[in-house]
Amino acid sequence: MMKKYFNYTLLAGISLSVLAIAGCKKYDNPPPVFEELKPINDVQRKVLVISIDGVTGSEIKAIAPTNVATLQQTSKYSYEVQKSGIATDASSWASMATGVSYAKHQIGTETFERLADPTGDDHAPVTSYRNVLDYITQFKATKTAVVTPWSNLRYYLRNADFAPVVSTDLAVKDSTVNILSKQDNVGAIFVNLRDVEVAGANGGFSASNANYKNAIVKADEYVGNIVTALKARKNYAKEDWLIIVTTNHGGSSTNPQSGFIIASNPRLKQEELKKRGFNTVLFNGTTIGASVNNDNGLYDSGSNKDFTVQMQAKFNVDTYYVGFLSKSTAINSSTQTGWMWFQTDSKKWNVSFGGANNGSGIGRQEIGAGGVVFDGNWHTLTMTVKYVNSTTRTATIYTDGNQNTSINISNHKNLSTPEKLTLGYKQFSGGTGLSFQGAELMYFNTALDAATIKANVGLKDVTQHPNYANLIGYWQNNEGTDAYIANKAPGGYDMLLYGAYTWKAMGTDVPASVIADPNATGKSIALTPTTVGANMLYWMKIKILPDYGLDGNPFLNQFELEFLK
């Protein structure tokens, strides 16, 4: 559709968006490749992003400051922008500026250095993701700017054409007004206000904290000053500005909360964007999955540990001998170390155990058929492992709360393996064709008894589970966006997604433990900070290629009928 309104003349040799750089954790953005793209009409699209760091979505909604509220009248907006994995100041800013989630860029420290490799291998090649200013200067004949009192952020975005050194929010406002007034060719600007986050750290991130509320009101005043300067530009009539007002994250870096975003343009109709219904990843094929990349031994099965794993699953096709949940090596024939859930015949599921790498010497052992689950419906699958003594370790499986079968797996000695806890395809003797949604995945560090399992199959509030204190992993798989599945247990680790995954809106088709959303039939738009970079590129008419690795949702593309001329 967009091709009707603009075109590109791409030069040969455009640099790839993602560069593999071997061996180091600290890296620079690749140098930009400059080229001019002539607009096909006199109106030039431009974008201004103002981040008021530390503002929670709930509090700015409650305060409703004047200038932000005015912009909201011509905007698509949300008060429910989700945090993304690690949500430090630097991580959130990196997600906004690149459109790439923490699961990929792994920038967490306030120096904008990576915390770890996303694969868990510190010696693996480092993948560097370009910030959107780099793309804009490559594909558009325009200037860029970043105005922030935070020197680390200024250095991270050092490829900007204008980056004045300022130390206060007041100076940020003044410098932004100056750039807008004097630089005719500026077309993309990041503005960073920091005082609100400082005020929240002194008394709380709530409107009941007068310092916090007053800081938001003052930041809103600066937003008004900046918008006034933008509209006073001598060529404003020939410019088409998108104004994004947002936050790096709500609250503090140590306790991040949901943020907000307002994407305003005079032609946009006011509409609140919400995540609606139940939204899961479709685990389709052999290359899509989610895993805990480093659990520090928390989910290690060992030789004498008790544990329970339970998951709600909906299988869309009837496959044959394919693994779908595991803490195991791949199975090629009769050898295995760890445990793996897989499909057996007659549309039933099964579990295989093995301790080959730990000296069992007896190959692998299947527990026996569970219930019918490969039928297109949601089912509850449960596995318990209970250590009794050196000669008895009992594994049991249940389908929809009903016990199926048990075996003694003590001869396998030790199930420990460095393989990751993985949701998604795992090789089982060559089986393929997997397509399913896995949700409400739970990991308890105790073997639940049959009565407890039966009584809590459809439990809607996991905090009411009688063994909640034993819950060390709880992955709802209901984010609807981004490259990670949050662990919502009291302890444990997030899962990181890999492969060409897609989030699927399930509407009212939900598992037993989920309350159906009566508004699920509406448009579901789930957002994280990555949406900022994605919408900047979209608005600037820069085609987002798969090479760029973007996770952000360029949601404005769903409302083109409102603003395309």
Handedness of CA 201, 206, 210, 211 (dihedral sign): positive
Domains defined for the chain, CATH in brackets: 44-274+525-563 (3.40.720.10), 279-505 (2.60.120.200)
Q: What is the pTM of this model?
A: 0.81
CB 264 within 8 A of CB 241: no
Number of residues assigned to the chain: 565
Tell me what pLDDT residue 416 has.
Answer: 97
The DSSP string of 301-333 is: -TTT--EEEEEEEEE-S--SS-EEEEEE--BSS
CA distance 343 to 321: 5
User: 3-class SS at 38?
Assistant: coil
| Spatial CB neighbours of 201, under 8 Å, sequence gap ≥ 6 | 54, 252
pLDDT (tens, 9 = 90+) of the chain, 565 residues, equals: 333 333 333 333 333 333 333 333 333 344 433 333 344 456 899 999 999 999 999 999 999 999 999 999 999 999 999 987 788 999 999 999 999 998 889 898 899 988 765 555 556 666 789 999 999 999 999 999 999 999 999 999 999 999 999 999 999 999 999 999 999 999 999 999 999 999 999 999 999 999 999 999 999 999 999 999 999 999 999 999 999 999 999 999 888 899 999 999 999 999 999 998 999 999 999 999 999 989 999 999 999 999 999 999 999 988 888 999 999 999 987 899 999 999 988 899 999 999 999 999 888 999 999 999 999 999 999 999 999 999 999 999 999 999 999 999 999 999 999 999 999 999 987 777 889 999 999 999 999 999 999 999 999 999 999 999 999 999 999 999 888 899 999 999 999 999 989 999 898 899 999 999 888 877 889 999 999 999 999 999 999 999 999 999 999 999 999 998 6
- Alpha-carbon span 106 to 151, nearest angstrom: 20
- As a whole-number percent, the residues of the chain with pLDDT over 70 amount to 90
Name the nearest CA neighbour of 93 among 220, 161, 194, 185: 194
Mind listing the pLDDT tens digit for each residue in 494-522? Answer: 999 999 899 998 988 999 999 998 888 77
Using DSSP bridges, classify how beta strands 323-328 and 471-475 pair: parallel, antiparallel or unpaired.
Answer: unpaired
